[in-house]
Structure 1
Amino acid sequence: MYEDIAENELKVLKVIAETLNRSNDLNNMLQSVLIELLKVTGLATGWIFLVDEKPRYSLVASANLPAALSFENNKRMRKGTCFCLNEYWDGKLTEPVNMIECKCKRLENAVKYSWGDTNGISHHATIPLSAGTERFGILNVASPGKKQFSKGELTLLQSVAYQIGTAIKRTQLYHSQKNRAESFEKLDEVIRFIWGISDVQELPGKVVEASEKVFQWPVIAFYMKEGSGLRLHALNKELKTDTSIRVSSSSNNDISKAYFEQKIIKNKSAHHQLLALGLPGQEASIAIPLLTLGEVQRGVLFVAGKKETILSDSEIEVLKALSDHISLAMESILVNEKRQELLLYEERNRLARDLHDSVNQKLFSLSLTSSGVKAMILKDDTLLREAMNDIQQLSQDALKEMKSLIWQLRPAGVEMGLIAGLKKYGNNLGLAVSGYVEGVHNLSRAIEETLWRIGQEALNNIKKHADTRQVFLRLHTTNDGVFFEVSDQGNGFHLDKLFNEKWSLGLISMRERAELAGGSLEIQSSPGEGTTLNIIIPWLDKEGSDCHGY
């Protein structure tokens, strides 16, 4: 008799093994193996739950459920909890000996509330599904009138459960590797697109656009450093939110933590936090800091969606690789911009040298020659003497203007700081320039160039029209941007006559320069009260690293 029992058990295990090896589709595999299990054991009904963290679970397979439980596509099996699920979540179904025979709450309720026919089923056996230390869910089986399973039956069911658990792990690994391969194939497409971007200000929008198209993540948000905090620069096209909201070190959210702690932040319950950020609620999220070479913080890539997708090992791996490429692409763009700026700087230096060595020297020679000729002219030759005076004056004026042009092309001294360079420039014009700096934010070469040109033009105007030598400069940087002030106590003018004056072209040029940098220029002046220029330029995407450079 023992041999007959052993033979039947081996037959059951063989049939189950064969069934489990027929498919890599998890739901189809579990449904098929459950049907085969009932067939070879003679049991009447069964169902399988895949269980996640409490209270998440899903009914993935069922066979021959009584009408009381199968009502409306197994509706009552997909909602609520029961004794066996609670035991699983409480960690009491981890050992083989902890298989239990329990009175089912669902079956109890079916009788109590007259849900329908239970086919005489009142109890079931519950067997945990696991592989090694990993737990996946539970297998429940039952038969009409059967209130107790023998030790041998439970042992056989546990053996089957081990097979099913191992098959679940194998299938999950298969799908994980398949998804990983597909995800990295998609990643390659996005990466090639990213490396074709040449403007760092366009990078966030294009990264989000490409990622949404390829990966179809429900929420993709790109935050970039702005001042001492972060601001949202790009979001899925169909999503709307307030992009002026800033994330600071005091903000209690995953984006702030990822940025200021420089680590990946995963959140399995992100719904309320997303709503607080003005984003649509999603189940889970991940925030990844964007760090360039030297661990310089540039921003945060924030993605949200379903937990099983966003927080899967393969997806996290893809997101890490994507953030690395974004950081490297950003660094490459900035390095290339610096390279272009250096090339332009070198070209200006070359032009400055050429002007100094050729035109400047000829103007100097013309000035000396006219001075010598004037000394040879007879005193009574008034007309010729006046003509030579004009030639000498014009040559000296041209020489000064040429020196000023050379200075503008090659502003020696600006490397020591904007204010210091402008002071030196003003001194060369014969002005007494004073000023000070507040704040320690670094200025990009573009903003420094803008302020430098505006400062030069302002000093030139003061020299020509203000009838004063005293000039005051003030540079103030905050988290919002840079404020630059140039003021004098000279002649001043009527603002309503500004555009009718011949020197208004310089002021218009200064305003245009400020606006091209995304800022503004305000003029305050009245006759006899002097003039003040206020230039405000907000931080652009590239600004923000701290520096003590003034």
Structure 2
Amino acid sequence: MKDKLKLLKDIAEFLNEETDLKTMLDGALRELIDHTAFETGWIFFINEAGEHEMAAHYQLPPSLKKRDCHYMEDGSCWCVRAYQKGHLQTATNIFVCSRLEKAQLEFPGENKGITHHATMPLISGTESFGLLNVASPNREEFDKDELALLESVSFQIGSTLKRIELTAKEKESVVIKERQRLARDLHDSVNQMLFSIGITSHAAKSLSGNGKVDEALTSIENTSKHAMKEMKALIWQLKPIGLENGILHAIESYSDLLGVDVNIELEGFYSISDAAETELYRVIQESLNNVMKHSGVRAADVKMTVQDKQLVTTVTDRGAGFDLRKKTVTSYGFGNMRERIRKLGGELDIETEIDEGTVVRITVPIEE
């Protein structure tokens, strides 16, 4: 077992060097467990809706690994509920763990003597990211020194999570600037060349009397027009040109480029930040792309309604629909869309059935 100060120093040095979220969590948890009396540990991320996910774990007892970590992923528990209510501020002994109890009942003797755990929120300043839990066989309570160590490591991990988050935002800003540069280059060079090809082929066709040549020139002209249309759509994805005239105008212009007939309704007045409006527009763009690519129809309804300090946007089509349970729907990009909206403090839901169309429902908070 390492000296406490040496362990904290080693963990701090490791965290300071890490930029990958998964590697950081796994490594910090492993370092803590391997060099203390703790036998196992796991980390929950908990979002603003109170939903948790297991972000990392180390040396879980067999019962908790069963059925793809069912008891770790499914349902709530005392520590998650206490976290949601803001009751956890320091390292705390958990006297009854429903996850361990349920796992022991279904798989007797496979808890390796682990019945209780300690928990500590992952905090950076006023922000909380989730929980760090640790446990040992035949231990119902951890002493003050062990809890103090757990607090120190949790604060270190929380600070690192905040640093990685800020670094990711900085990188995203760089990416956005690069996309804007690429959009300008595409517009100034490739788009101009395609336009020239279209003009030249059209002029050449008027001078030719050969049927096959005329047919080839017509094909070139049509292809250049199609390529220009695709290029403009790509530029809009790289840089949301048109948002300066409002999101409704931007949606109409983008749907025209896609060839999707969109009926737009707005009920009420709303105020959201420019950054939030851009993210919302990106998600609506992707929803319209899905209509074009997957629905089998070329029409959609976009409705934006202000309800209870929230802006609710729905994108509805009456197309083919799909089975949400199948993993093949990842091609629709719903994971990225949900993540964009989650960062705004909102939610994204999908309602769909085969041959019954699709409704994408986006809810984001509005400014006071």
Place the TM-score, normalised by the shorter chain, in its bin.
Answer: 0.5 to 0.7
Q: Write out aligned runs for 1:66-105 (5 A).
A: none
State the match for 2:121 in structure 1: 289
The CA deviation at 1:397 is 2.5
1:310 aligns with 2:142: yes
State the match for 1:162 in structure 2: none
State the match for 1:225 in structure 2: 46
Whole-angstrom distance in 2 between the partners of 1:341 and 1:231: 25
How many residues get paired?
Answer: 318
1:432 aligns with 2:261: yes
Structure 1 residues 510 and 411: CA distance shift in structure 2, 3 A: farther
Whole-angstrom distance in 2 between the partners of 1:348 and 1:431: 25
State the match for 2:365 in structure 1: 548
8 A Cα contact 2:315 2:359, kept in partner: yes
Structure 2 letter corresponding to 1:456: N
The one of 77, 80, 86 aligned to 1:261: 86
8 A Cα contact 1:514 1:535, kept in partner: no
Structure 2 spans left out of the alignment, 5+ residues: 65-70, 105-110, 267-271, 305-312, 339-349
Relative to the length of structure 2, the TM-score reads 0.63
The one of 151, 154, 164 aligned to 1:320: 151
The CA deviation at 1:454 is 6.2
1:401 aligns with 2:230: yes
State the match for 2:187 in structure 1: 356
The CA deviation at 1:357 is 0.5
Structure 1 letter corresponding to 2:35: V
Relative to the length of structure 1, the TM-score reads 0.45
Give me the CA root mean square deviation: 5.1
Could you report, residue by residue, the CA deviation over 1:369-400 in whole angstroms, capped at 9, with x for unpaired residues? 4445556x49xx47466665444333322322
State the match for 1:344 in structure 2: 175
The CA deviation at 1:182 is 1.9
The CA deviation at 1:532 is 2.9
SS in 2 for 1:287: strand
Structure 1 spans left out of the alignment, 5+ residues: 1-178, 476-482, 496-507, 526-530, 537-545
8 A Cα contact 1:259 1:297, kept in partner: no
Whole-angstrom distance in 1 between the partners of 2:230 and 2:315: 25
Whole-angstrom distance in 2 between the partners of 1:222 and 1:418: 39
Whole-angstrom distance in 1 between the partners of 2:17 and 2:281: 28
8 A Cα contact 1:364 1:395, kept in partner: yes
8 A Cα contact 2:30 2:58, kept in partner: yes
Could you report, residue by residue, the CA deviation over 1:436-477 in whole angstroms, capped at 9, with x for unpaired residues? 99xx9x99x999978854642532566xx64x5x214689xx
Structure 1 residues 255 and 399: CA distance shift in structure 2, 3 A: closer
SS in 2 for 1:243: helix
Whole-angstrom distance in 2 between the partners of 1:339 and 1:415: 23
Could you report, residue by residue, the CA deviation over 1:479-505 in whole angstroms, capped at 9, with x for unpaired residues? xxxx9975235xx69x9xxxxxxxxxx
Higher RCO, Cα 8 Å, sep 6+: 2
State the match for 1:458 in structure 2: 291
Percent of pairs with identical residues: 20
Structure 2 letter corresponding to 1:318: L
Could you report, residue by residue, the CA deviation over 1:244-265 in whole angstroms, capped at 9, with x for unpaired residues? 2343xxx6x3553345326435
Q: Write out aligned runs for 1:78-477 (5 A).
A: 182-226=3-47, 228-231=49-52, 233=54, 234-239=56-61, 240-241=63-64, 242-247=71-76, 253-261=78-86, 263-265=88-90, 270=95, 286-293=118-125, 295-304=126-135, 310-312=142-144, 314-372=145-203, 377=207, 381=209, 383=211, 388-412=217-241, 424-434=253-263, 452-453=285-286, 455-459=288-292, 466=297, 468=298, 470-472=299-301
1:512 aligns with 2:345: no
State the match for 2:347 in structure 1: none
Structure 1 residues 220 and 461: CA distance shift in structure 2, 3 A: closer
The CA deviation at 1:329 is 1.0
Structure 1 letter corresponding to 2:82: K
8 A Cα contact 2:351 2:358, kept in partner: yes
SS in 1 for 2:121: strand
Whole-angstrom distance in 2 between the partners of 1:209 and 1:315: 16
SS in 2 for 1:209: helix
The CA deviation at 1:354 is 1.2
Whole-angstrom distance in 1 between the partners of 2:46 and 2:119: 15
Whole-angstrom distance in 1 between the partners of 2:150 and 2:167: 25
SS in 1 for 2:300: strand
Whole-angstrom distance in 1 between the partners of 2:83 and 2:261: 49
8 A Cα contact 2:94 2:116, kept in partner: yes
8 A Cα contact 2:38 2:134, kept in partner: yes
Whole-angstrom distance in 2 between the partners of 1:343 and 1:271: 47
SS in 2 for 1:301: strand
Structure 1 letter corresponding to 2:158: S
Structure 2 letter corresponding to 1:328: S
The CA deviation at 1:325 is 1.1
